[in-house]
Amino acid sequence: MRTLIDESQLDDGVSKLAKEIDSNYGGRPITVVAVMTGSLVLFADLIRRLSMPQRVGVIHASSYRGGTQAGKLEIDSKMLIDVQNRDVLLVDDIYDTGATLTKLSAAIAEMGASSVSTAVLLKKLRPKQIGPKPDFVAFEIPDEFVVGYGLDYLDMYRNLPFIGVLEPDEIEATARQ
Ligand code: 5GP
Ligand code: MG
Ligand code: MG
């Protein structure tokens, strides 16, 4: 595993992200929605650093069914709290092609939210990103498959306290586990 962003860099990055979001909303209450499961770790760290009143909810989206290539996006909003007339901040782990956050933003807007903004830990620097850019980004990273701090490969590695890049032999080993 090659470390791309270490623990203390993550700590600083999330604090900066929270400051930016705080100053943008100026104390207005928000409904913060975690895009499960990848934003789990970021979400816990971020909401404790935001100072406005918050309602907290979760939505499920997944496009990486069992690999490093994106498949069809599935959205499950059964567990989501009411977002009608709320200012919603969607929190996701990473903005790659942009498909997930574009579709989720549209779905939340359709549910009657007054506004929808997006915050991500990571944004990949790659061509062919679709839809609006995320409103708040902690780190821009090269176009590599990363794990840790919530991000998985085959549901593993989410617990790592840093962001790392898997070596080819680790990819093979994980698939065999
Ligand atoms: P997008 O829809 O923007 O292409 O992809 C967003 C979703 O794909 C993220 O929420 C994340 O779950 C997954 N994803 C994209 N790139 C990576 C990556 O490098 N590593 C991991 N573990 N997941 C990724
Ligand atoms: Mg995701
Ligand atoms: Mg995943």
For each of the chain's 177 residues, which pLDDT tens digit applies?
A: 999 999 999 999 999 999 999 999 999 999 999 999 999 999 999 999 999 999 999 999 987 555 666 678 899 999 999 999 999 999 999 999 999 999 999 999 999 999 999 999 999 998 888 888 999 999 999 999 999 999 999 999 999 999 999 988 998 999 888
Buried b (16+ CB within 10 A) or exposed e, 66-94: eeeeeeeeebebeebeebeebbbbbbbbb
Residue identified by tokens 């989720």 is: 104
- Rounded Cα distance, 147 and 57, in Å: 24
CA of 168 to the centre of ligand 1 (A): 18
Q: Is 152 close to ligand 1, i.e. is its CB under 6 Å away?
A: yes
Query: What is the pLDDT at residue 80?
Result: 97
Ligand nearest to the CA of 133: 1
Q: What is the dihedral of CA 8, 14, 20, 21, to 10 degrees?
A: -170
CA neighbor of 132 nearest in space, from 97, 157, 107? 97
Tokens (6 digits) for 35: 């895009």
Q: What's the Cα-to-Cα distance from 39 to each of 93, 105, 128, 177, rounded to whole Å?
A: 5, 16, 23, 24
Domains of the chain: 2-65+72-176 (3.40.50.2020)
**Ligand 1 pocket mutation, candidates 129, 151, 157, criterion most atoms within 8 A of CB:** 151
Q: Is the distance from CB of 4 to CB of 146 less than 8 angstroms?
A: yes
- Rounded Cα distance, 64 and 153, in Å: 9
Query: What is the pLDDT at residue 133?
Result: 94
Query: What is the pLDDT at residue 127?
Result: 83
Q: Based on the residue annotation, tell me whether 11 is a catalytic residue of this protein.
A: no
Q: What is the ipTM of this complex?
A: 0.97
Q: How far is CA 115 from the centre of its chain?
A: 18
Amino acid at 72: K
